[in-house]
Amino acid sequence: GNSVTQMEGPVTLSEEAFLTINCTYTATGYPSLFWYVQYPGEGLQLLLKATKADDKGSNKGFEATYRKETTSFHLEKGSVQVSDSAVYFCALSGYNTDKLIFGTGTRLQVFP
């Protein structure tokens, strides 16, 4: 079945450091891929998405590229801020389904 695997957290960085959060997936067909962010005490927010191979999703300085050859969708940001501290979830939506399969989430902590 479909599944998503994320790197274990927490990821701890200093402000302005480069961020990578790894995400790999297993799916049949051609899933759509998503990154969600959850700030403390809030719901999940859709951060970015990609719907086909080689698509790059981007938003608020974050980027992720849909790599079918490596079944990956790693999240990157060139310079993190303290305000980026949150939990990040990778997710996929299989072909012809409304359901999202979430990874377990990766906590990011950014210190000044």
Partner 1 sequence: DAGVIQSPRHEVTEMGQEVTLRCKPISGHNSLFWYRQTMMRGLELLIYFNNNVPIDDSGMPEDRFSAKMPNASFSTLKIQPSEPRDSAVYFCASRTAGDGQYFGPGTRLTVT
Hey, which residues between 77 and 106 contact partner 1 (CB under 8 A)?
A: 89, 91, 93, 98-100, 102, 104-105
Do 4 and 25 form a contact (C-beta atoms < 8 A)?
A: yes
Residue that is written with structure tokens 């067909």 in the block: 29
Q: Which is nearer to partner 1, 17 or 24 (CB)?
A: 24
Hey, which residues between 30 and 49 contact partner 1 (CB under 8 A)?
A: 32, 34, 36, 42-46, 49
Q: Which is nearer to partner 1, 19 or 47 (CB)?
A: 47
Q: Which is nearer to partner 1, 13 or 49 (CB)?
A: 49
CA-CA-CA-CA torsion for 105, 103, 7, 65, nearest 10 degrees? -110
Half-sphere exposure (Cβ direction) of 93: Cα atoms closer than 13 Å? 14
1 sits near partner 1 (criterion: CB under 8 A): no
CA 82 vs. chain centroid, Å, equals 18
Q: Which is nearer to partner 1, 26 or 104 (CB)?
A: 104
Do 51 and 110 form a contact (C-beta atoms < 8 A)?
A: no
Assigned token pair, 51: 């719907």
User: Could you list the residues that contact partner 1 (CB under 8 A)?
Assistant: 32, 34, 36, 42-46, 49, 51, 89, 91, 93, 98-100, 102, 104-105
